[in-house]
Amino acid sequence: MKKKIYVTRSAEETMRLAEKLAHSLKAGDCLALMGELGSGKTTFVKGLAYGLGFKKKDYVSSPTFVILKTYPARIPIYHFDVYRLSTLDEFQGIGLEEFIGSQGICVIEWADKLEGLLPPDHMRVEFSTAGSGDRLRKIVVHHLSKRRGKRKSP
Ligand SMILES: Nc1ncnc2c1ncn2[C@@H]1O[C@H](COP(=O)(O)OP(=O)(O)O)[C@@H](O)[C@H]1O
Ligand SMILES: [Mg+2]
Protein backbone atom coordinates (compact mmCIF):
# COMPACT_ATOMS: atom_id res chain seq x y z
CA MET A 1 0.00 0.00 0.00
CA LYS A 2 1.31 3.40 -1.05
CA LYS A 3 0.90 6.20 1.48
CA LYS A 4 1.05 9.89 0.64
CA ILE A 5 1.18 12.62 3.25
CA TYR A 6 -0.14 16.11 2.50
CA VAL A 7 -0.26 19.23 4.62
CA THR A 8 -2.84 21.90 3.79
CA ARG A 9 -3.06 25.41 5.21
CA SER A 10 -6.64 26.36 4.40
CA ALA A 11 -10.02 24.82 3.59
CA GLU A 12 -9.52 25.91 -0.04
CA GLU A 13 -6.24 24.00 -0.21
CA THR A 14 -7.92 20.86 1.14
CA MET A 15 -10.65 21.23 -1.49
CA ARG A 16 -8.07 21.62 -4.25
CA LEU A 17 -6.25 18.50 -3.08
CA ALA A 18 -9.51 16.51 -3.14
CA GLU A 19 -10.42 17.96 -6.52
CA LYS A 20 -7.15 16.64 -7.97
CA LEU A 21 -7.62 13.25 -6.34
CA ALA A 22 -11.14 13.07 -7.77
CA HIS A 23 -9.74 12.72 -11.26
CA SER A 24 -8.22 9.34 -10.40
CA LEU A 25 -11.49 7.92 -9.05
CA LYS A 26 -13.86 5.66 -10.86
CA ALA A 27 -17.28 4.10 -10.34
CA GLY A 28 -17.25 1.52 -7.57
CA ASP A 29 -14.51 3.19 -5.53
CA CYS A 30 -14.94 3.56 -1.78
CA LEU A 31 -13.20 6.25 0.26
CA ALA A 32 -13.01 5.84 4.04
CA LEU A 33 -12.47 9.20 5.75
CA MET A 34 -11.21 9.21 9.33
CA GLY A 35 -10.41 11.99 11.75
CA GLU A 36 -11.89 14.04 14.54
CA LEU A 37 -14.67 16.64 14.25
CA GLY A 38 -13.51 19.70 12.33
CA SER A 39 -10.48 17.98 10.83
CA GLY A 40 -11.69 18.64 7.27
CA LYS A 41 -13.54 15.52 6.09
CA THR A 42 -16.59 17.36 4.76
CA THR A 43 -14.41 20.08 3.23
CA PHE A 44 -12.56 17.31 1.40
CA VAL A 45 -15.85 15.87 0.07
CA LYS A 46 -16.78 19.32 -1.27
CA GLY A 47 -13.58 19.36 -3.33
CA LEU A 48 -14.10 15.78 -4.43
CA ALA A 49 -17.64 16.49 -5.65
CA TYR A 50 -16.42 19.66 -7.37
CA GLY A 51 -13.70 17.71 -9.16
CA LEU A 52 -16.32 15.25 -10.38
CA GLY A 53 -18.46 18.01 -11.83
CA PHE A 54 -20.88 18.72 -8.97
CA LYS A 55 -20.34 22.46 -8.56
CA LYS A 56 -22.85 23.25 -5.77
CA LYS A 57 -20.32 23.32 -2.91
CA ASP A 58 -22.88 24.74 -0.46
CA TYR A 59 -25.08 21.72 -0.98
CA VAL A 60 -22.32 19.40 0.24
CA SER A 61 -22.55 19.07 4.02
CA SER A 62 -22.13 16.33 6.62
CA PRO A 63 -25.15 14.05 6.29
CA THR A 64 -25.03 13.57 10.07
CA PHE A 65 -28.78 13.30 10.55
CA VAL A 66 -29.77 11.73 7.27
CA ILE A 67 -26.70 9.42 7.16
CA LEU A 68 -26.55 9.58 3.34
CA LYS A 69 -26.60 12.35 0.76
CA THR A 70 -26.31 11.70 -2.97
CA TYR A 71 -24.70 14.14 -5.39
CA PRO A 72 -25.38 13.78 -9.11
CA ALA A 73 -21.79 14.33 -10.19
CA ARG A 74 -20.23 12.87 -13.36
CA ILE A 75 -20.11 9.67 -11.34
CA PRO A 76 -22.80 9.68 -8.60
CA ILE A 77 -21.36 10.31 -5.14
CA TYR A 78 -22.84 8.59 -2.08
CA HIS A 79 -21.75 10.68 0.90
CA PHE A 80 -22.21 8.89 4.25
CA ASP A 81 -21.62 10.18 7.77
CA VAL A 82 -21.88 7.45 10.36
CA TYR A 83 -20.94 9.62 13.36
CA ARG A 84 -24.28 9.06 15.09
CA LEU A 85 -24.41 5.32 14.60
CA SER A 86 -23.11 3.05 17.29
CA THR A 87 -24.39 -0.51 17.12
CA LEU A 88 -23.61 -3.20 14.55
CA ASP A 89 -27.36 -3.39 13.82
CA GLU A 90 -27.38 0.32 12.97
CA PHE A 91 -24.31 -0.03 10.78
CA GLN A 92 -25.80 -2.94 8.91
CA GLY A 93 -29.11 -1.08 8.67
CA ILE A 94 -27.73 1.59 6.36
CA GLY A 95 -27.35 -0.98 3.58
CA LEU A 96 -23.84 0.09 2.72
CA GLU A 97 -23.35 -3.06 0.66
CA GLU A 98 -25.95 -1.83 -1.84
CA PHE A 99 -23.81 1.20 -2.61
CA ILE A 100 -20.33 -0.29 -2.38
CA GLY A 101 -19.04 -1.49 -5.72
CA SER A 102 -22.03 0.14 -7.45
CA GLN A 103 -21.90 2.58 -10.34
CA GLY A 104 -21.17 5.36 -7.86
CA ILE A 105 -18.39 6.43 -5.52
CA CYS A 106 -18.92 5.91 -1.78
CA VAL A 107 -17.34 8.43 0.57
CA ILE A 108 -17.79 7.67 4.26
CA GLU A 109 -17.06 10.07 7.12
CA TRP A 110 -16.13 8.37 10.43
CA ALA A 111 -15.43 5.18 8.50
CA ASP A 112 -13.24 3.88 11.36
CA LYS A 113 -16.55 2.92 13.02
CA LEU A 114 -17.27 0.59 10.12
CA GLU A 115 -13.99 -1.29 10.16
CA GLY A 116 -14.80 -4.85 9.07
CA LEU A 117 -17.77 -3.76 6.97
CA LEU A 118 -15.63 -1.83 4.49
CA PRO A 119 -14.58 -3.45 1.23
CA PRO A 120 -10.96 -4.69 1.32
CA ASP A 121 -9.96 -2.33 -1.49
CA HIS A 122 -11.17 0.92 0.04
CA MET A 123 -9.04 4.04 -0.08
CA ARG A 124 -8.34 5.28 3.42
CA VAL A 125 -7.86 9.01 4.07
CA GLU A 126 -6.83 10.17 7.55
CA PHE A 127 -7.24 13.77 8.70
CA SER A 128 -5.64 15.42 11.70
CA THR A 129 -5.33 18.94 13.04
CA ALA A 130 -2.13 20.47 14.26
CA GLY A 131 -3.84 22.13 17.23
CA SER A 132 -7.10 23.95 17.90
CA GLY A 133 -7.68 27.15 16.00
CA ASP A 134 -4.96 26.26 13.55
CA ARG A 135 -5.61 25.96 9.84
CA LEU A 136 -2.95 23.33 9.35
CA ARG A 137 -4.25 19.87 8.44
CA LYS A 138 -2.33 16.68 7.86
CA ILE A 139 -4.02 14.45 5.33
CA VAL A 140 -2.72 10.93 4.77
CA VAL A 141 -3.97 9.15 1.67
CA HIS A 142 -3.46 5.40 1.52
CA HIS A 143 -3.49 4.36 -2.10
CA LEU A 144 -4.07 0.69 -2.68
CA SER A 145 -1.48 -0.96 -4.85
CA LYS A 146 -4.01 -3.27 -6.45
CA ARG A 147 -6.96 -1.22 -7.56
CA ARG A 148 -9.97 -2.88 -9.09
CA GLY A 149 -9.81 -2.89 -12.87
CA LYS A 150 -6.28 -1.56 -12.93
CA ARG A 151 -4.47 -4.85 -12.58
CA LYS A 152 -2.19 -5.86 -15.39
CA SER A 153 -3.55 -8.62 -17.55
CA PRO A 154 -1.59 -11.90 -17.21
N1 LIG B 1 -6.53 23.18 6.06
C2 LIG B 1 -7.86 23.04 6.25
N3 LIG B 1 -8.51 22.01 5.66
C4 LIG B 1 -9.83 21.82 5.87
N5 LIG B 1 -10.60 22.60 6.66
C6 LIG B 1 -10.00 23.63 7.26
C7 LIG B 1 -8.62 23.90 7.08
N8 LIG B 1 -8.29 25.00 7.82
C9 LIG B 1 -9.42 25.40 8.41
N10 LIG B 1 -10.46 24.59 8.10
C11 LIG B 1 -11.83 24.71 8.64
O12 LIG B 1 -12.06 23.60 9.48
C13 LIG B 1 -13.39 23.17 9.38
C14 LIG B 1 -13.44 21.73 8.89
O15 LIG B 1 -14.75 21.30 8.99
P16 LIG B 1 -15.31 20.01 8.27
O17 LIG B 1 -14.74 19.89 6.91
O18 LIG B 1 -16.79 20.07 8.41
O19 LIG B 1 -14.70 18.86 9.20
P20 LIG B 1 -15.26 17.41 9.54
O21 LIG B 1 -16.18 16.98 8.44
O22 LIG B 1 -14.02 16.56 9.63
O23 LIG B 1 -15.96 17.51 10.85
C24 LIG B 1 -14.08 24.11 8.41
O25 LIG B 1 -14.71 25.13 9.15
C26 LIG B 1 -12.93 24.65 7.59
O27 LIG B 1 -13.18 25.95 7.07
MG1 LIG C 1 -18.18 16.24 8.51
Q: Measured on CA atoms in the order 145, 149, 152, 154, is the torsion positive or negative?
A: positive
Length of the chain, in residues = 154
Residue 3's CB is within 10 A of a number of other CB atoms, namely 10
The alpha-carbon radius of gyration of the chain (Å, integer) is 15
Q: Is the pLDDT of residue 116 over 80?
A: yes
For residue 130 and ligand 1, the question of a CB distance below 6 A is answered with no
pLDDT digits (tens, 9 = 90+) for 16-33: 999 999 999 999 999 999
Centroid of ligand 1 to alpha carbon of 109 (angstroms): 13
Confidence grade of residue 147 (pLDDT, cut at 50, 70, 90): low
Q: Is the pLDDT of residue 72 over 50?
A: yes
Higher pLDDT: 134 or 105? It is: 105
Task: State in words which class domain 2-143 has.
Answer: alpha beta
The predicted structure's pLDDT at residue 151 = 40
Q: Give 33's strand partners.
A: 109, 125
The predicted structure's pLDDT at residue 154 = 43
43, 64, 84: residue to mutate for ligand 1 pocket, most atoms within 8 A of CB: 43
Q: Where are the domains of the chain?
A: 2-143
DSSP 8-state assignment for residue 118: S
Q: Are 48 and 30 in contact (CB under 8 A)?
A: no
Atom of ligand 1 nearest to the CA of 139: 3
